[in-house]
């Protein structure tokens, strides 16, 4: 998953019309007495209870013996992650005579606009992939089914993954996603640049003092060794990692207010700006310029996601490696996200495919070692501990960070709130257009107003 330019999820241009239709639907449900909020109307007006659909889907744990069925599978795997998934689908289709899966691929930014509209119109997919930070929003819109009964029938639990990965799929006490992988941030290093400064892999920094000392040595050789990006990919992800390392949080647990403007947040931004003011990074780094400089042997250290592994492998002559991100703060923490397998809500006439969908979902989860070829860390513990995975050197290094991975909070609508407030504050401060505290405080006030609106629409996160 190459997300160097991935935009925040936004609603489609017809969002006001969608909200009006949703409001109308809620009025009908109120008249029907659907107090749980889980009873919806199908595309032909028939009542559809997503709890009933989840129970039907759980039957897929025993296999599928029905007539031949074709399932639609939606993903955003448009880059180097597409071929490994296509190979998995080819294998699944060979092994299952009565189930055929067809994958439809859309850019992630468009995917999160397209999926809710398709589900509401009765033309959504049978199975889809969503990022962990999008599950809460999809859940409150009833775009996806709760999977508690499904994972119970499949016998899945935290022990099959990791507690952090498993918990990332839960919203308001219900499970909505089954993790397929985890893709955290890492520290890429350019071996040629380090060698030019008389440094080698043994000099890889693990803490703040070490990091600054190595950057100072690089500066003495005329090298700006750690470029700071003002955009989400990668500066925003660096900020979030630093915030957690310094003991801060992005938002309150109930999703009612922003907390990224704490002392930890200010210190995190101060550190990023310190790299610029000390001359370890140029000013005004453009989108992807940090990565381009890295590939051109002008940048020694690059904070980026695991999805860059296959990108850098494809560049002839580039000498590079990867390490865990250094602990700049007193604790180890690193931003991460996860692709989750989900079951979208189905219209009444689509429910017979639910059991087959679970057969596919279960099979794909159990074959996640092959998915690691896409440059991901497989979510399943047995895959991560396999000899085949440990031979994937870079992915295995990323996997060592799993105990320290932090996910964005499970709060409905939080992605768009962050994109229109915090991301702008990081951009403004890193470009030296506003002091960190001023930028963060202004963003927090704007975020609190948006969060208040979200609370009225979606209720509290917990």
Phi, psi of 2, rounded to the nearest 5 degrees = -90, 110
Higher pLDDT: 21 or 146? It is 146
Q: Which pLDDT band holds residue 39 (cuts at 50, 70, 90)?
A: very low
Percent of the chain scored above 90 by pLDDT? 83
CA-wise closest residue to 49 among 64, 63, 35: 35
Tokens linked to 116: 């809710």
Strand partners, 19: none
pLDDT confidence bin for 17, thresholds 50/70/90: very low
Q: What is the mean pLDDT of residues 368-397?
A: 95
pLDDT confidence bin for 137, thresholds 50/70/90:
very high
CB distance 461 to 271 below 8 Å: no
Q: With left for phi above 0 and alpha for psi between -120 and 50, is residue 244 left, alpha or beta?
A: alpha
User: Comparing 19-23, 25-29, 211-215, which segment has the lowest mean pLDDT?
Assistant: 25-29
What whole-number distance in Å separates Cα of residue 145 and Cα of residue 177?
9
pLDDT of 459: 82
In sequence order, what DSSP letters do the residues of 256-275 get, joined into one string? SSB-TTSHHHHHHHHHHHHH
Q: What's the CATH number of domain 25-179+339-378, 3.40.50.2300, 3.40.1050.10, 3.90.1580.10, 3.40.190.10?
A: 3.40.190.10
Contact 95, 189 (CB under 8 A): no
Distance between CA atoms of residues 44 and 349, nearest Å:
10
| DSSP-derived secondary structure letter, 70 | E
* CB 235 within 8 Å of CB 305: no
Domain ranges across the chain? 25-179+339-378, 184-337+411-458
Decide whether 25-179+339-378 matches 184-337+411-458 in CATH topology: yes
Who's near 58: CB < 8 A, 6+ residues apart? Answer: 149, 150, 152, 153, 358
pLDDT of residue 48: 56
- The average pLDDT across 231-248 equals 97
Q: Say how far apart CA 372 and CA 374 lie, in whole Å.
A: 5
Q: What is the pLDDT of residue 14?
A: 39
pLDDT class of 52 with cuts at 50, 70, 90: confident
Q: Give the pLDDT score at 29.
A: 29
Q: Report pLDDT digits (tens) over 426-449.
A: 999 999 999 999 999 999 999 999
Q: What is the model's pLDDT at position 12?
A: 34
pLDDT of 1 above 80: no
pLDDT of 23 > 90? The answer is no
Average pLDDT, the chain: 89
* Per-residue tokens: 178: 């089954």
> Are the C-beta atoms of residues 440 and 265 closer than 8 Å to each other?
yes
CA distances from 162 to 11, 218, 388, 398 (A): 32, 38, 19, 15
Rounded to whole angstroms, the Cα distance separating 227 from 281 reads 4
Q: How many residues does the chain have?
A: 462
Give pLDDT tens digits for 333-375.
999 999 999 999 998 777 789 999 999 999 999 999 999 988 9
- Tokens representing residue 414 in the block: 């939080």
CATH class belonging to 184-337+411-458: alpha beta
**Which residues neighbour 384 within 8 Å (Cβ) at sequence distance 6 or greater?**
377, 378, 399, 402
Residue 249 pLDDT exceeds 90: yes
d(CA 456, CA 18) in angstroms, rounded, equals 17
Q: What is the pLDDT of residues 253-275, one digit of tens each?
A: 999 999 999 999 999 999 999 99
Residue 50 clears pLDDT 90, i.e. is over it? no
Q: Per-residue pLDDT for 34 more than 90?
A: no
Q: Of 20-34, 74-88, 203-217, which gets the smallest average pLDDT?
A: 20-34
Residue 24 scores a pLDDT above 60:
no
Distance CA 350, CA 328 (A): 51
Phi and psi of 360, rounded to 5°? -70, -45
34-38, 217-221, 233-237: least confidently modelled range: 34-38
């Amino acid at each position: 998953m190459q997300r160097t330019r991935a935009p925040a999820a936004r609603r489609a241009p017809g969002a006001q019309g969608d909200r009006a239709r949703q409001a109308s639907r809620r009025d009908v449900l109120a008249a029907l007495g659907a107090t749980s909020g889980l009873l919806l109307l199908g595309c032909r007006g028939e009542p559809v209870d997503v709890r009933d659909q989840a129970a039907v889907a759980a039957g897929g744990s025993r296999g599928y013996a029905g007539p031949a069925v074709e399932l639609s599978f939606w993903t955003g795997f448009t880059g180097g992650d597409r071929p490994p998934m296509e190979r998995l689908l080819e294998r699944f289709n060979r092994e299952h005579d009565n189930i055929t899966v067809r994958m439809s691929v859309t850019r992630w930014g468009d995917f999160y606009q397209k999926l809710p509209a398709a589900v509401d119109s009765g033309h959504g997919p049978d199975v889809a992939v969503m990022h962990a930070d999008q599950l809460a929003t999809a859940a409150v819109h009833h775009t996806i089914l709760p999977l508690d009964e499904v994972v119970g029938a499949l016998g899945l639990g935290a022990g099959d993954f990791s507690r952090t990965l498993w918990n990332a799929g839960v919203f308001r006490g219900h499970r909505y996603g089954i993790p397929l992988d985890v893709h955290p941030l890492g520290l890429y290093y350019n071996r040629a640049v380090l060698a030019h400064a008389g440094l080698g892999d043994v000099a890889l920094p693990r803490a703040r003092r070490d990091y600054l000392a190595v950057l100072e040595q690089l500066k003495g050789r005329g090298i700006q060794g750690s470029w700071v990006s003002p955009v989400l990919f990668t500066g925003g992800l660096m900020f979030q990692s630093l915030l957690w390392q310094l003991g801060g949080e992005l938002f309150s647990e109930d999703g009612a207010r922003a907390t990224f403007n704490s002392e930890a947040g200010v210190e995190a931004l101060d550190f990023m700006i310190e790299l610029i003011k000390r001359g370890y990074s140029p000013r005004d780094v453009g989108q992807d310029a940090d990565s381009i400089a890295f590939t051109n042997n002008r940048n020694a250290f690059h904070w980026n996601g695991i999805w860059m592994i296959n990108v850098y492998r494809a560049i002839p002559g580039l000498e590079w490696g990867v390490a865990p991100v250094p602990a700049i703060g007193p604790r180890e923490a690193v931003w991460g996200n996860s692709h989750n397998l989900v079951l979208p809500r189905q219209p009444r006439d689509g429910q017979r495919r639910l059991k087959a969908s679970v057969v596919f979902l279960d099979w794909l989860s159990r074959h996640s070692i092959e998915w690691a070829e896409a440059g991901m860390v497989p979510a399943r513990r047995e895959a991560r501990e396999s000899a085949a995975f440990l031979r994937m050197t870079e992915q295995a290094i990323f996997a060592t960070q799993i105990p320290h991975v932090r996910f964005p909070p499970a709060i409905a609508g939080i992605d768009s709130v962050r994109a229109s407030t915090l991301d702008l504050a990081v951009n403004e401060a890193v470009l030296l257009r506003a002091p960190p505290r001023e930028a963060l405080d202004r963003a927090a006030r704007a975020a609190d107003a948006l969060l208040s609106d979200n609370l009225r629409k979606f209720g509290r996160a917990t």
